[in-house]
Structure formats: structure tokens, C-alpha cells
Amino acid sequence: MLVHGGLSNHLCWQRQVDDERLASFRIVTYDLRGHGDSDKPVDPSSYQDEERWADDLHAVLETCGLRDPVLVVWSLAGVVTSAYLRKYGGSRLGGVVWVGAIPTVAAVTESAVFELMPRMFSPHIDERIDGLRAWLASCFGHSAPPSYMFERMLASASFALPLAPAVGSFTVADPWPTLRAFDRPALVIQGTHDRITPPDVGRQLAENIPNATLVMYDGAGHALFIDEPDRFASDILAFVRRT
């Protein structure tokens, strides 16, 4: 199961969904609440409680009948996964791949994304578009995506604006006791030039999750599965085969 990050949607995984090397696996994607094709309630309380996000993930796993799935979680999906593990445990999972993932929103308060937030969520549409464009550009390292993909991702970000008032005020418990208790296989993939999730966050995840392996992508940014899709697919394939 591929779970996207904040201000994105399931389309960010299109290269992985279309990759022939992964064609032998059942791949499931879904849109987080407030994103993509999912409902977008305007009440901030719909986003602030981490258990709501955990329940959403659980509902998708149940509805799709997934057993021992490998979760591949990007960015904000790390918070969702931490919340899921806290409430439901990890016994039904085959493993987790953390991709530029954060365990709490506080992990990125010093990053480029927070500096851009006043513009990203401005009431003035011109400032908002410029802010979202700058944020999206900061997601990439040494390989900018094709222009059509960039524009699609920019449009996707604009659909997630109803959750803006709740950003930074999520009710998130301390994730570390939960992560230290996670006993399934884990892989942490982190770009060295990630300007959204500081590389030290990836290292901290790997140090605190038992059975975790850390892989650093030199020069890659936050959206490292777009920066280096071939290497990413190979690493995912190898991990899934080991679990």
C-alpha cells in the first residue's frame, strides 16, 4: 500500500504503479482525508485528532482485505502510520517503508515548508499559488520532474487547502514508544538533500525502530521516489521480497 504525504494525493505514485518491476504485486493507493478524491470537511477538528487518520488507514486495510501488506509511507503519512500502530498495533502488517517520513508534525517545524506556510495558505490566490509552487519546487533534489507532473502535483496541492487551519495543531502522542515496539521489518529511505524532512529525522527513525535499515539517497530531495524512481523501485522490490 502506497500512502502519500501532505498536500498530495495517490497520483504522486503513478511511476510506481506503472513500473513493470512491481507489476507482480497488488498495489493499493488511497487519498488521505482532505486530499485528492477523499472528503474535505471544513471543520479543523476533522483533521486534528490523529486517531481519525489511523481509523481511515485501518478502514482501507479492512475494506481491501489486505493481510501482511507492506506500507510505503511518505512524509505526513509517517504521522498517520505512527497513529495507526499506536491504536491497532503492527501485527497485521508485513512491514513498513518510511520515505522521507515524519513521526510527528513537530519534526518539520524548522524546515522550508513551515517558512512558506504564510504564503501557501494566504487568503490571496496569487500569493497562495506562488507559495505552493515554491513549496513543491523544494520537494526535489537533483532531478526535477517533467513539467506535466509538476503542474499536476501543484494542482493536487491546491485541493488540500481545507485542512490548512489544522496544520501544526494535530493532537499527536509521543510516537517513540510505539515505534520502538514495532517488531516487523522496516526500511527507512531518506534523501540527503531533503528540505522538508531533515535527514536527521530519517536517521532518528532508523535508530529507534527495531529491525530497521537506513538507506540514504545522495543528492535526492523529499520526493525521492520521483528523483530516483529506478533505484526506489529496486529497493522496494528487494524489501518486499525479504518480508
Range of the domain at 101: 2-242
Residue 158 reports pLDDT greater than 70: yes
pLDDT in tens, 1-12: 999 998 899 999
Q: Which residues pair with 188 in a beta bridge?
A: 98, 214
51: domain CATH number is 3.40.50.1820
If one counts the domains in the chain, the total is 1
Q: Which residues pair with 72 in a beta bridge?
A: 2, 97
Please tell me the pTM assigned to this model.
0.94
Strands across the sheet containing 186-191: 29-30, 2-3, 70-74, 95-99, 186-191, 212-217
Residue ranges of E strands in the chain: 2-3, 29-30, 70-74, 95-99, 186-191, 212-217
pLDDT in tens, 162-205: 676 666 567 678 999 999 999 999 999 999 999 999 999 999 99
